[in-house]
Amino acid sequence: MAWTGSWTDRFLRRQPSGEDRISTLPDDLLLLVLRRLDTRTALGTAVLSSRWASLPRELPALDFSVGDILPPRYHQWIRLHGDRGTHAPNTDKKHIVPNIRRYERRAMRALASSVESILDAPADDDRRVSRLSLQFFITSSSGCCMNRLIDKALDTWGVDDLEAVAKPTYCHRRQAHTFPTHGLCKEPRTSRLRRLKLGGCLLPPMHQFSALTTLILQDLPESTPTAAYEGVFTSCQQLQVLHLNSCGCSGDKIVVVDAPMSEIRELVADHCAFRRIRLRALPSLERLASLQTKVYFESGSCPSLRQRNFALRLGTTHEGFRQCFRDYLELELDLFFQHTPDITTMIIRFTGPDRWFVPSSSPSLLLPNLRRLLVADVPSSWDVTWPRLLLEMAPYLEVLHIHITPCTVEPNDELLSWQPTKRPQHHLKEFVMAGFEGTERQIYLVKFVMSVCTTLRRVILSKNGYARDKGLWDWEMVTLQYSWSDQEKDTMLKQIMDGVSSSTAHVHMV
């Protein structure tokens, strides 16, 4: 016979003898059930049976998310407000926005009630929790409750992995959560905290967390002083991983990193509203990702740097300013590679309506240790031969992958003008071009690679293909099947092989 009703109804059905079915289950099985529920629901199971009442205390991880409480109707109101646009009539806004805020207040009251129930539970000091994840709206009444939970989690429960993400209420984007003057907890020196993610808050004091090795800062407000970021590098000397995601800052917006005692090995700066990050001393840094955030090096600042991932988009599609921008901003390519000679793996995404850089004025600049290089998202409107500049900088390069992406902007790019060295490449073994359309400049680049790379063994030209990220530091080229006609194949191969040395006849070309 099929069960009807909710899962709690099914569990509470009695056998003819009157035996409580829940009471017959072992604790390990009940805990498996609780671990598949969100924390707020797990706490509510105490009403099912006395056997369940103490079980939530055994959970190794607590996850409080206001998103789990918001009903579908809330998201419908959000979409409705977005469809009407920011310039909707006031009569419409008066109807939509109050409903959005009402759902947010209700969700926060329910979340706060769950948090308070666990904080006020008797004999709670012997609880042990390894991870706490907390997501909440910033309201006038929520801050104290959330701070109490974080304080107890660190000082009493021994949490070593904490995520606290504060979200502004709808139409109040400038809100930020604040912690007490003493910081996250009262006893940071004895804290076990190893991993911390903070979002949408003012940065609290961090220097006394001696076990902290991973720090993720997200959506920090524009009022955050640059000194606060600089202090993280200099005072948190035990840090090994630091991510800055969509962070803002005040003042001159230039973050200077001068931390000769730092142990940071991985640094990510992703869409941060800084003018630049200037690395003066970060000796242990091995991996750097600067995504839409400018990072400059000083000589000898990062002697351990081996992996680099950087993306930068500049320019405008507005026709009135497009030519002015092109005339004003022509950055030399060596600006992005100087003082980093020991890099072995590099991912580059330079994009925009027009190419905004020029060849280096120092042709002697080399990347002697570079072995693997991905140049991704090259706009098809650019002169796509520009990666040749990088090839000439890397005499020991073994793998070169290029991905060309279709561009809707009308081409307005002059051909690159530079004096090629024609230096033979004795180490390149694999060359892949995804997004290959057989244009004149694409064929020119392929012919150049095949003519100067004496050890080339594998060439793949894929019309439908792309670069798939494998985390921040690796990738794979995905080639999708495309049926070239025999005539297209013959014509393309003749153009590519025309004038190429016979020594490349053994190259495997797809």
Picking from 107, 199, 121, the residue whose alpha carbon sits closest to that of residue 162 is 199
Amino acid, res. 116: E
Task: State the Cα–Cα distance between residues 199 and 195, nearest whole angstrom.
Answer: 14
What pLDDT does residue 91 have?
47
Secondary structure E strands in 314-453: 331-332, 345-351, 357-358, 372-379, 399-405, 430-434
What pLDDT does residue 510 have?
63
Task: State the Cα–Cα distance between residues 264 and 21, nearest whole angstrom.
Answer: 53
Task: Read off the pLDDT of each residue in 259-281 and give the average, rounded to a whole number.
Answer: 96
Distance (Å) of CA 123 to CA 48, 54, 150, 264, 304: 21, 11, 18, 40, 50
**Is 293 strand, coil or helix?**
coil
- Name the range with the highest mean pLDDT among 258-272, 425-439, 443-457: 258-272
Cβ atoms of residues 477 and 460 within 8 Å: yes
- Name the range with the highest mean pLDDT among 6-20, 97-111, 244-258, 353-367: 244-258
Residue 327: φ, ψ to 5°: -75, -30
pLDDT at residue 123 above 70? no
Task: State the Cα–Cα distance between residues 239 and 235, nearest whole angstrom.
Answer: 9
Cα distance between the two ends of the chain: 59
Q: Mind listing the pLDDT tens digit for each residue in 125-136?
A: 667 888 999 999
The pTM score is: 0.85
Residue that wins the pLDDT comparison between 45 and 267: 267
What pLDDT does residue 479 have?
82
**What value, to the nearest 5°, has the Cα angle with vertex 182 and ends 203 and 126?**
105
- φ/ψ region of 405 (left if φ > 0, alpha if ψ in -120 to 50, else beta) reads beta
Distance (Å) of CA 272 to CA 183, 217, 229, 262, 293: 24, 11, 12, 21, 6
What pLDDT does residue 508 have?
55
The structure tokens 């049926």 sit at: 483
**Is 255 strand, coil or helix?**
strand
pLDDT at residue 462 above 70? yes
Residue that wins the pLDDT comparison between 411 and 64: 64
pLDDT at residue 83 above 50? yes
Output the six-digit token pair for 171: 């139409």
What pLDDT does residue 47 have?
52
Cβ atoms of residues 165 and 146 within 8 Å: no
The structure tokens 């000091």 sit at: 125
What pLDDT does residue 1 have?
37
Confidence of residue 295 (pLDDT cuts 50, 70, 90): very high
pLDDT at residue 3 above 50? no
Residue that wins the pLDDT comparison between 277 and 78: 277
Output the six-digit token pair for 11: 């569990």
Confidence of residue 415 (pLDDT cuts 50, 70, 90): confident
Task: Read off the pLDDT of each residue in 365-388 and give the average, rounded to a whole number.
Answer: 91
Distance (Å) of CA 139 to CA 75, 143, 179: 19, 7, 13
Secondary structure E strands in 47-141: 61-65, 131-137
What pLDDT does residue 110 have?
86
